[in-house]
Structures are given as structure tokens and as C-alpha cells.
Copies of this chain bind each other. A is one copy, B any other.
Amino acid sequence: MPHLTLEYTANLALAPAAALGAINAAAFDTGLFGEADIKSRAYCVDDFRIGIQPLARAFAHVRIALLGGRSPEERKALADAVLTALSATLQAPPGHELQLSVETVDLDRASYAKAVVRG
């Protein structure tokens, strides 16, 4: 951990490598995590729907799953930093409303299982 998951709608001109680099750096700079532990992935969402009305909309969302024990202040600072980093890597398409959001969620520490294998 942490596991970061970026989802973004396909109408965004988002470069996933740049976005993931930015959010990993932001997560690392909080000082909460070991460097190699920050594992992120991006999913481009081709099929999406925002609201009910047929308006030009887009979203990008990051879910950060981390082992419990962080304070509410640390979690808020982490989410804010990742949101800021993500915002800097993309723009709303012309005429679109773009919603950006970041959530944090606790992983269950007692059952978390992990192994590292070297090839």
C-alpha cells in the first residue's frame, strides 16, 4: 500500500503516464509512504454517464486505499495534495464541466497479505 486508482472519462485529453507520475510524486511528498510502496494504475472509462441531462461533462477520480492508522488530518492533506497534482495535469475540454475528486479509504490491516518476489 498505498494503492491509488485513477479513473478518467475518455473525453479527457489525459496522459496517464504524466498523471500517474504526478500523483505518485504528490503521495510520496507527504512523507507518509515508502517510495516503492506507492502503486498506482489508471483506467480510461469509455462508457460513462454523468447525471441525467445530456450535457458535456467529464470526470477524473482517484481512490487512495491505505492501511489504517493515518490521522484524519493526514488523510485530508494527502487527498488535497493528490487533487492538486491531478488538476495540474489536465484541463476541462472546451465547453465541458470537469469534476475532479479524490477519496481515501482504509485497508483492513489485520487481514492484509503481502509478498515481494524478485525476478
Footprint of B on A, CB under 8 Å?
1, 3, 7, 9, 16-17, 20-21, 24-25, 28, 35-45, 47-53, 55, 57, 59, 61, 65, 72, 75-76, 78-80, 82-83, 87, 91-108, 110-119
Contact = CB atoms under 8 A, between A and B. Distances in A.
Counted per complex, copies of this chain come to: 3
A111 B117 contact: no
B40 A52 contact: no
A119 to B, nearest CB: 3
11 contacts: A36-B99, A39-B49, A75-B108, A75-B110, A76-B113, A83-B115, A87-B117, A91-B119, A98-B118, A99-B114, A101-B113
A100 to B, nearest CB: 5
